[in-house]
Amino acid sequence: MPDQVGKTGLVVSAHSADFVWRAGGAIALYAKRGWKIKIICLSLGARGESAKMWREGKGVTLEKVKQARIDEARAASDILGADSIDFYDLQDYPMRVPDEIVFRLADEYRSLRPEWVLTHGMEDPYNADHPLTSQVTQEARVIAQAHGHKYPEPPIGAPQVFMFEPHQPEQCNFKPQLILDISEVWAQKRKAFESQAAQEYMWDYYTHVGLNRGTQGARNSGRRMIYGEAYQRIFSLVTDTFI
């Protein structure tokens, strides 16, 4: 797909590994097509999503957990073929987002000019950091679209936003409105799972999710596919054709 080369996509993850389980297939698929994918992790999930490291006990410190999470996320990013990964190092559980971070994200939109953005959904009763990340990601997008923001810097267009699948989709009112066929990059996604030692309990769970969405993808399309990744849209799809 030569016309795809050089296009960009942005992935905003609340914690350092969320993108691996939920968007790893999309990242690998688009990187393979020549896109530059940037991943931003607002926090490292050091407090709330690193239970295995804390349970190991003796000598564990917040700094050690943070460094391990950075190493794991970088390893996953490399396996998936992302162009770059940034860590904003906000606290997690609870996350609080100052205005300077919203503006930093808006600057990312302006410099990257992504075709699409992947982030969390707007509801998650199990995890307040996830909807907050979604809100901030969308707020920064709208700021980057504003003509008056940093005039005369050119505003961005209207990149589509796709919300990735939460851990318990029914409670989050998640609707799988788009199923991406990630069969051809599944091996990379699974390998990226296996680079996340702190959350080993997720490896098989998200393998089952991929298989289930793959089966549903085949059922909804008639296409031969094994693994899928589901997304929910926010904005209208604008097109001049139904199919």
Return residues touching Zn ion (CB under 5 A): 14-15, 18
Measured torsion, CA atoms of residues 213, 208, 135, 158, in degrees rounded to the nearest 10: -40
Quote the least distance from Cβ 45 to Zn ion, whole Å.
6
Quote the least distance from Cβ 114 to Zn ion, whole Å.
21
Quote the least distance from Cβ 47 to Zn ion, whole Å.
11
Quote the least distance from Cβ 197 to Zn ion, whole Å.
16
Length of the chain: 243
Q: Are 164 and 121 in contact (CB under 8 A)?
A: yes
Q: Which of 109, 129, 121, 118 is nearest to 82 (CA)?
A: 118
Quote the least distance from Cβ 103 to Zn ion, whole Å.
23
Nearer to Zn ion, 156 or 192 (CB): 192
Nearer to Zn ion, 51 or 142 (CB): 51
Nearer to Zn ion, 15 or 213 (CB): 15
Nearer to Zn ion, 124 or 181 (CB): 124
The residue number whose beta carbon is nearest to Zn ion equals: 15
Indicate the SS3 state at residue 213: helix
Nearer to Zn ion, 76 or 225 (CB): 76
> How far apart (Å, rounded) are the C-alpha atoms in residues 142 and 232?
19
DSSP secondary-structure letter at 118?
E
Nearer to Zn ion, 15 or 66 (CB): 15
Q: 28: buried, middle or exposed (CB in 10 Å: 19+, 13-18, 0-12)?
A: buried
Quote the least distance from Cβ 25 to Zn ion, whole Å.
17
Q: 230: buried, middle or exposed (CB in 10 Å: 19+, 13-18, 0-12)?
A: buried
